[in-house]
Structure 1
């Protein structure tokens, strides 16, 4: 038990520098995340304990939703065995949340005589109390939700069926145009615009698929699958893994109905990404390899689009292997992906420069920071076709430089990412985490603009 350990000394996780720093600055979301991961709980499991959805708990942990209510803090401290002083609570023995609760012996004495009506009243009171606790966190002092928070909340309602889709026919051409615009927003890292567009798109694509005639269903299913591909990518970027799993599963069902090899391949890639983020790395690896073999056998890779899909599968498999330190496998898969990229030349969405981008990522996650920096310097970011890819380049470059201890250069790379994709830096977790790491490392204040940058992108100080 954590409490028993605490009596003999400080809890191990609370002695971590990350926990101490978070407690010092009042970053309760980070404290909650460290306590949750120390208990080996997923967001979904932890959410079940405290009555939050995984998405809401994720927003709290990332500091997007502030914890200010003392009653809520006491409740979370008790549930997750967080020392109350870390939450700034000096008295955990004050009035209980339910002050009118009778002594336990009286409850037992009355249990046999309790009527069904009394049970239902009690349940309503308990649920009402929990709703009030959640509401007190969401209201009043809580900052206005950011665009990522808004899109997550809206998608959560849609995926859970709280927002039924329109019951009228949807114009397929209008829907495809909307999907094209949404993908353009994603590739340009325009998350504010995407947050307004994507929930409506998911709802409309769902309605179109359910209301279409039998002959049009494959086309509607293909549009729905591509919509859920985009949704999955957005949720993965925001670290909403539980919701990404749901979106990925819906993409799989739609792709199966559309019966398109390219959709199968991209759906398998999305599936593998979600699998590896939820600690199923071996299954993710096998999914990617199987999908690449199936695509090769079914199409013989006759078109640039098929070659590009094949290359993306292998490059994603290489990155997946690197995450589990399978270096030789990662390098072999990258070599195969490179051959596919060279076959495509500068055509399509996957070429040799995209393989080089994966080389940087693979080297970084293998902690070969010197190699990652070298690869990054060999690649000009303007060679990459989209803002999203260029932002990914600067992300890997900045993180690799930080890994080498080159903090000034890492900060410059972070500024470069902000210049080309300000919303990527403002709203993505990697940029926030790197900024905090740079602040912690910059004890001599050699980076005078760093604190101003942290404030500009909304990093909790």
Structure 2
């Protein structure tokens, strides 16, 4: 039914940008050759070879393209470009993650999720070339003290209604700062993200105002993604600011003239509408976005189209339309299969991988009242294939809902514990706390549940 109207890698910091690029390129599956990487960024195979040998240092804009294609993190870029400012990785020597400069070692998921925020900010400052205050907005936060905002909702209100003063950034540095914020979202570091958003949004706005022509359009695309990310955070915290963030994301996306940011903004608006009980209207918004995205064959646009179709499938389930929900999910999965054959993108929250589509089927059957049909999908998912803690936590949340609807309290609690293990801040989301509270006040006695509820603030939900 047509709807009209891979692994992310983290590198141990090394002081050689060529080694990082070569290691990340060889780690991709399917493997990216020097010729293919060169073609994707507009350079020759021999140029890529010279970069990897350390004979050439690419310009910022090119580095950002390479980083996006190979999933090189902001921290690695910063450390490689500033090798004389070494930073110690907590626990590096004790768990065997450190080796020679040519080594590329995957960091354990949970240890990576708990990465030191101060280290992240120091590296970001080096990479962006500005004071950390420009990103966090406060000197106290720059020194690693207690965040100004402990409640993400309060920070979102400040970002949207009381924005701080900000100066423009060069566009490539704005994109890098936005990517760092996106990593906070993907790592489920919502408190840190909420600290950065007020100044980041203000800086992005100032950058747009300072540019003209094509550069301004690209800055508007970055601003749209920043507002869409603010909307996603508002959705997670059930903040009323989601409406404002989504509207501003749409305004900036339209000004950019680019389909992918427009589709992402529309998806955030549709989720906001669905949470407000307006699922049919949300489907109309998603239909229009998918129609626009269908005309843009570029992978980034099709990636967002697939994400929008998955959101539409879940939304259709809320209207009780089983056939439409399953058809839309199937269409998204087909697009995901096609995208898997080409370069993937990492700008957005949801990618229509097989595992992600399976996870959405669990959600869809939970809403349709047929959670037993979700068991098949849950059993064939290996949670480690989800490339971010935010997505892994979302999978465990959906699984917990499935077991709760089936009356299996032990498996429900096991899934909730997995949410906390993967992303502690996800376990404190209002919807997850409500699920914990239901389990807490059910007629069961599960060892550790009371302590879990207290840690996640669900005891008085």
TM range (shorter): 0.5 to 0.7
> How many angstroms apart in 2 are the aligned matches of 1:413 and 1:321?
26
Match runs of 1:262-411 below 5 Å: 262-296=260-294, 298-299=295-296, 301=297, 303-345=298-340, 348=344, 349-411=351-413
What is residue 447 of structure 2 aligned with on the other side?
448
The one-character-per-residue Cα deviations of 1:113-150 (angstroms, maximum 9, x if unpaired) are xxxxxxxxxxxxxxxxxxxxxxxxxxxxxxxx998753
1:163 counterpart residue number: 163
Change in Cα spacing, 1:437 to 1:226, as seen in structure 2 (3 Å) is same
CA distance in 2, matches of 1:252, 1:322: 25
The 1:187/1:361 distance shift into structure 2, 3 A limit, reads same
> How much does 1:157 deviate?
2.5
Contact 2:286 2:308 in 1 (8 A): yes
Secondary structure at the aligned position of 2:407 is classed as coil
The alpha carbon displacement at 1:181 in A equals 0.7
Q: Is the 8 A contact 1:345 1:352 kept in 2?
A: no
Contact in 2 for aligned 1:165/1:206 (Cα 8 Å): no
Distance of aligned partners of 1:422 and 1:147 in 2 relative to their CA distance in 1, 3 Å threshold: farther
Deviation string, structure 1 residues 243-278 (Cα, Å, up to 9, x no partner): 111111111111111111112221221221122222
Aligned to 1:259: 257
Give the conservation status (yes or no) of the 8 Å contact 1:232–1:247. yes
1:63-122 Cα shifts (integer Å, max 9, x gaps): xxxxxxxxxxxxxxxxxxxxxxxxxxxxxxxxxxxxxxxxxxxxxxxxxxxxxxxxxxxx
Q: What's 2:436 paired with?
A: 435
- 1:318–1:329 CA contact under 8 A, matched in 2: yes
Q: Deviations over 1:195-249 (max 9, x none)?
A: 2222221121122222334553212111110100110100001001x21111111
How do 1:94-133 and structure 2 match up within 5 A?
none
Conservation of the 8 A alpha-carbon contact between 2:322 and 2:368? yes
Alignment of 1:164-243 (within 5 A): 164-166=164-166, 168-214=167-213, 216-240=215-239, 242-243=240-241
The structure with the larger Rg is 1
Q: 1:147 to 1:333 in 2, by over 3 A?
A: farther
Cα distance change of structure 1 residues 187 and 272 upon mapping to structure 2, 3 Å threshold: same
Q: Distance in 2 between matches of 1:389 and 1:402?
A: 20
Task: Quickly say closer, same or farther: Cα 1:217–1:307, change in 2 above 3 A.
Answer: closer
2:414 aligns to what? Answer: 412
Gapped runs of 5+ residues in structure 2?
1-145, 345-350
- Secondary structure of 1:458's counterpart equals coil
Which aligned pairs between 1:30-69 and structure 2 lie closer than 5 A? Answer: none
Residue 320 of structure 2 aligns to a residue in which SS? coil
Structure with the bigger percentage of helix: 1
Q: TM-score, normalised by structure 1?
A: 0.63
Cα distance 1:281–1:450, how it changes in 2: closer, same or farther (>3 A)? same
TM-score, reference length from structure 2:
0.63
User: C-alpha separation between the residues in 2 aligned to 1:360 and 1:450?
Assistant: 24
Change (3 A) 1:239 1:418: same
Partner SS state of residue 241, structure 2: helix
Q: How many residues align?
A: 308
- The whole-number CA distance in structure 2 between the counterparts of 1:294 and 1:455 is 46
**Hey, what's the Cα distance between the residues in 2 that align with 1:437 and 1:268?**
33
Change (3 A) 1:222 1:433: same
Q: Is the 8 A contact 2:440 2:459 kept in 1?
A: no
Secondary structure (helix, strand or coil) at the match of 1:394 reads helix
> Aligned with 1:232: secondary structure?
helix
**In structure 2, do the counterparts of structure 1 residues 352 and 333 end up closer, same or farther at CA, with 3 Å as the change threshold?**
same
Deviates more, 1:190-199 or 1:338-347: 338-347
- How far is 1:171 from its partner? 3.0
C-alpha distance after superposition, 1:264-301 (max 9, x if no partner)? 221221221122222221121012122212221x22x3
Q: Is the 8 A contact 1:391 1:421 kept in 2?
A: yes
Change (3 A) 1:214 1:226: same
In 1, Cα distance between the equivalents of 2:206 and 2:152?
A: 19
Higher relative contact order (CA 8 A, sep 6+): 2
C-alpha contact 2:246 2:266 (8 A) present in aligned 1: no
